[in-house]
Amino acid sequence: MTQSDKHDIARISCIAAGTSVLAVTGLLAAAADWMFRFAIDTQSKNSIFRKSIIAPDRAEKMSVGEAKEAGEWFEQAKQPVELGSRDGLRLHGWLFDPDCASPTPHAYAICVHGYTGEPAEMAKWAHRYARLGFTVLVPAQRAHELSEGRYVGMGWLERNDLLNWIHLIVQSDPEARILLYGGSMGASTVMNTVGDPRLPRNVVAGIAESGFASAREEFIDMAHTMFHLPRLVAAACVDTAGLICKRRAGYDFTEASCRDSLRHTVIPMLFIHGGADTLVSPRFLAANYAACSSIDREKLLVPGAGHMESSGKDPDLYWRTVEGFIRRTFTI
């Protein structure tokens, strides 16, 4: 083989390698763009919000026992309320009066639903808190139910919305004492909010159920379990999708970190997770609990419970823990 032949082979190898890199980069960009449109852009034709992969049959879930009673109460007692977001969206929510003979003075609970969900899914919790004497607010997160918006913020953009709802309560009742409860992505909204330096002192305690530690980690888990991508490939897709999200929706997945936010919270926190949760890994319970800087923190792992199913799996343990936490922190 001549020296010229060797140079030709080297050039061909470089061209082939470059072509392969471009092809892989192109595939990665395409996959990341699809992931963003699937998970974040609710108006995309490929959006999960047009499918039923995450959300189970909600009508079926509201068909028995306490859930049925709470669902009927929710529909009969709800009062509409609206406010504007910091980025110009109209946000909608439902307000409920206390459902007991002796309401707790100045006590409010805000219940925040999860990803692809709706306020009605919070009926069971809202009813419990109303029966404890709380005035209850159940907002629709941006881009959900009647609230405006195109992009989901995975609890990061929504923290600003929750702060607005809190301020709405405080404006009407400066002596308000507020409990924050969130489930799934709603838990992440709550966790990001309690660590925000703008949080009013009126917020007394928070409960986070089935929440992830960061949007990045949750999306890597989803890409691995739902689409069977190797974790390294899933991470590359998620990180690239995060860059797209930063450009289009205004935030990166690494910003939406409950773990980071919890390092700045000082209010009492209760963390709950089902031990058999396949949508949001139970490992996040320990991660969020460990990150929380509050000296008053509790955690509850319910063995065998799936995603947001802890109250149904072991209702006695669940409500004894939740109500004990509330009665202690609110002295009721």
From CA 44, how far away is CA 23, in angstroms rounded?
25
Query: What percent of the chain lies above the pLDDT cut of 70?
Result: 88
**Which tens digits make up the pLDDT trace of 198-237?**
999 999 999 999 999 999 999 999 999 998 999 999 999 9
Give 25's pLDDT tier (boundaries 50, 70, 90).
Answer: low
Considering the entire predicted model, what is its pTM?
Answer: 0.90
From CA 141, how far away is CA 269, in angstroms rounded?
21
Give 12's pLDDT tier (boundaries 50, 70, 90).
Answer: very low
Three-class secondary structure assignment of the chain: CCHHHHHHHHHHHHHHHHHHHHHHHHHHHHHHHHHHHHHCECCCCCCHHHCCCCCCCHHHHCCCHHHHHHHHHHHHHCEEEEEECCCCCEEEEEEECCCCCCCCCCEEEEEECCCCCCHHHHHHHHHHHHHCCCEEEEECCCCCCCCCCCECCCCCHHHHHHHHHHHHHHHHCCCCEEEEEEECHHHHHHHHHHCCCCCCCCEEEEEEECCCCEHHHHHHHHHHHHHCCCHHHHHHHHHHHHHHHHHHHCCCCCCCEHHHHHCCCCCCEEEEEECCCCCCCCHHHHHHHHHCCCCCEEEEEECCCCCCCHHHHCHHHHHHHHHHHHHHHHCC
pLDDT score for 57: 40
pLDDT score for 173: 98
Mean pLDDT of 11-36: 62
Residue 276 pLDDT > 70: yes
CA angle (229 as vertex; 36, 242 as ends), nearest 5: 25
What domains does the chain contain, in order, with CATH numbers?
Answer: 54-214+256-330 (3.40.50.1820)
pLDDT, the chain, mean: 91
